[in-house]
Amino acid sequence: MQRFERFQAIQQLDPVQDNCEICRQLAGYEFPWDITRSLEIALFRTFCVPSVADLLDRTAEFHHRPQKRYDDTGLMVSLILKWGHDTPKGQAVIQRMNQIHGHFPISNEDFLYVLSTFIYEPVRWVDRFGWRKFSDLEKQALFYFWYAVGQQMGIQAIPTSFAIFEQYNLDYEREHFRYNAANQRVGESTLRLFLSWFPAPLRPVIQPFVYAIMDDRMLQAFGFPTPQLWQRRLVEQVLRSRGHLLRYFPPRQTPSFYSDEPQRSYPHGYDLTDIGPPKMLSKLNRPKA
């Protein structure tokens, strides 16, 4: 298979009817590392919204069990991308997600914003750092994929086009991103989680470069320091160079989904019934009468 052969095959698909297959190809074969990183940024961005951060701060899941909270979110998103929203396996994941969310007072507009990040953060990341950019067809497929997921989640008033939803995403951030003490607490817990993946002596060196990935609006909302210009340029150059080099690598022949990787929270494997806050698992897994 040539480097652009899969891309050319994707362009023959329909972004509405084939959105599950297109997104499976993008997340599993074309951009597995990039989409995982972009969804980490998407997760981080949602904590810049005080109403989202306040809820997470009260539940304390990101303070006491940040790795499990991260893994559970990553697994659910990855499994939906892997199986599709139109299969029994994919729909079971969405149902589990709905069960968990149903225990918390989350506003429709917050649901809408979080849903939008799953579309636009991967697009922005891949356009900046990917070995190629997304085509318009692929962007439309991402929109229709997450639009369908949003409908199964019961989210109301989802914008009906890629452009309109993108404007919602931008307007929401301008209106809602602002500093809040809960933002900072949740952001710091998440930052400690990211740094914990590296050897302890390297963490102080790596931390400024994590800040360098964030834009000014995120930094201000978290109360994080502004990185030096050279740090931002270095991060940008390294990520761009990685994408440029990948153009000369052979295409991936086997899928690489986050859900197929070893999970720190589940060293012996996991089942869908393991996903969720520990104190809620007995209720979530209780057989229906």
Render pLDDT for 126-171 as a digit per residue (tens, 0 to 9): 999 999 999 999 999 999 999 999 999 999 999 999 999 999 999 9
Average pLDDT, the chain: 95
Give the Cα-Cα-Cα angle 42, 44, 47 (nearest 5 degrees): 115
Q: Residue 266 forms beta bridges with which residues?
A: 263
Render pLDDT for 90-140 as a digit per residue (tens, 0 to 9): 999 999 999 999 989 999 999 999 999 999 999 999 999 999 999 999 999
Render pLDDT for 27-86 as a digit per residue (tens, 0 to 9): 999 999 999 999 999 999 999 999 999 999 998 887 888 999 999 999 999 999 999 999
Domain boundaries along the sequence of the chain: 13-253
**What per-residue confidence (pLDDT) applies to 283?**
87
**CA dist., res. 52 & res. 106, Å (int):** 8
Are the C-beta atoms of residues 147 and 141 closer than 8 Å to each other? no
Give the Cα-Cα-Cα angle 33, 39, 69 (nearest 5 degrees): 110
pTM score, whole prediction: 0.94
Are the C-beta atoms of residues 140 and 120 closer than 8 Å to each other? no
* Residue 247, token pair as written in the block: 């153009």
